[in-house]
Structure 1
Amino acid sequence: MYSEKTPESNIKKLDYSNLALVIRAFLSTLDVNGESRLPQRAYLAIRHVIRHLQLPPGQTVLEREMTEILGMSRTPVRESLVRLETEGWVRLIPRRGFIVAPLVADDLQQIYEVVEALDGVAGKLATGRATHKELNQLEDLIKQQEKALELNDLLAWTELDEQFHNYIVDLAQNPRLRGIVDSQSDQLYRARLYTIEFRPSPTRSVIEHKAILAVMRAGDPEAVRTMLQSHRYRARNEILETLHSMHPLQE
Structure 2
Amino acid sequence: MKQKEKRSSDHSALKKTLLQYKEEANEDRLPQQAYIIIQQAIRNLQLQPNEAFLEREIIDMLEMSRTPVREALIRLEMDRWIRLTPRKGFSVEPIIKENIEQICQIAEALDGVAAELATLNMEEKQLDMLDSLIARQEKCLDENNLEAYLEADNQFHHLIVAYSRNERLQNIMDSHSDQLYRARLFTINERKLPVRSIKEHKAIVAAMRAEDSKAAQLLMHSHRHRGGQEILAIIESKPINKQGK
TM-score by length of 2: 0.93
Q: Does structure 1 retain, via aligned residues, the 8 Å contact 2:54–2:88?
A: yes
Q: Corresponding residue for 1:224?
A: 216
Q: Corresponding residue for 1:178?
A: 170
Deviation at 1:37, TM superposition (A): 1.4
Q: Counterparts of 2:132 and 2:14 in 1: how far apart (Å)?
A: 33
Q: Corresponding residue for 2:15?
A: 20
Moved more, 185-194 or 78-87: 78-87
Q: Does structure 2 retain, via aligned residues, the 8 Å contact 1:138–1:164?
A: yes
Deviation at 1:249, TM superposition (A): 8.3
Q: Does structure 2 retain, via aligned residues, the 8 Å contact 1:81–1:92?
A: no
SS of residue in 2 equivalent to 1:91: strand
Q: Corresponding residue for 2:118?
A: 126
Q: Counterparts of 1:147 and 1:247 in 2: how far apart (Å)?
A: 33
Deviation at 1:60, TM superposition (A): 0.6
What's the Cα RMSD here?
A: 1.6
Matched, 1:115 2:110: no
Q: Corresponding residue for 1:156?
A: 148
Q: Does structure 2 retain, via aligned residues, the 8 Å contact 1:27–1:41?
A: yes
Q: Counterparts of 2:241 and 2:75 in 1: how far apart (Å)?
A: 29
Q: Does structure 2 retain, via aligned residues, the 8 Å contact 1:129–1:172?
A: yes
Q: Counterparts of 1:97 and 1:217 in 2: how far apart (Å)?
A: 52
Q: Does structure 2 retain, via aligned residues, the 8 Å contact 1:63–1:96?
A: no
Q: Counterparts of 2:139 and 2:210 in 1: how far apart (Å)?
A: 25
Deviation at 1:97, TM superposition (A): 2.5
SS of residue in 2 equivalent to 1:92: strand
Deviation at 1:175, TM superposition (A): 1.6
Relative distance call for 1:141 and 1:228 in structure 2 (3 A) is same
Deviation at 1:222, TM superposition (A): 0.7
Q: Corresponding residue for 1:3?
A: none
Aligned-residue identity in percent: 49
Residue 89 of structure 2 aligns to which amino acid in structure 1?
A: G
Matched, 1:208 2:200: yes
Q: Does structure 1 retain, via aligned residues, the 8 Å contact 2:96–2:241?
A: no
Q: Counterparts of 1:248 and 1:242 in 2: how far apart (Å)?
A: 12
- 1:189-228 C-alpha deviation (Å, 9 max, x unpaired): 0000000001111111001001111111011001111110
Deviation at 1:47, TM superposition (A): 0.1
Match of 2:230 among 238, 243, 248: 238
Q: Counterparts of 1:248 and 1:49 in 2: how far apart (Å)?
A: 20
SS of residue in 2 equivalent to 1:98: strand
Q: Does structure 1 retain, via aligned residues, the 8 Å contact 2:50–2:241?
A: no
Relative distance call for 1:96 and 1:78 in structure 2 (3 A) is farther
Q: Does structure 1 retain, via aligned residues, the 8 Å contact 2:107–2:173?
A: yes
- 1:162-207 C-alpha deviation (Å, 9 max, x unpaired): 0000010111112211111000110000000000001111111001
Write out the 4+ residue segments of structure 1 that deviate beyond 4 Å after TM superposition: 248-251
Q: Corresponding residue for 1:189?
A: 181
Q: Does structure 1 retain, via aligned residues, the 8 Å contact 2:41–2:47?
A: yes
Residue 24 of structure 2 aligns to which amino acid in structure 1?
A: T
Unaligned regions of 5+ residues in structure 2, if any? 1-5
TM-score by length of 1: 0.91
Residue 62 of structure 2 aligns to which amino acid in structure 1?
A: L
Unaligned regions of 5+ residues in structure 1, if any? 1-11
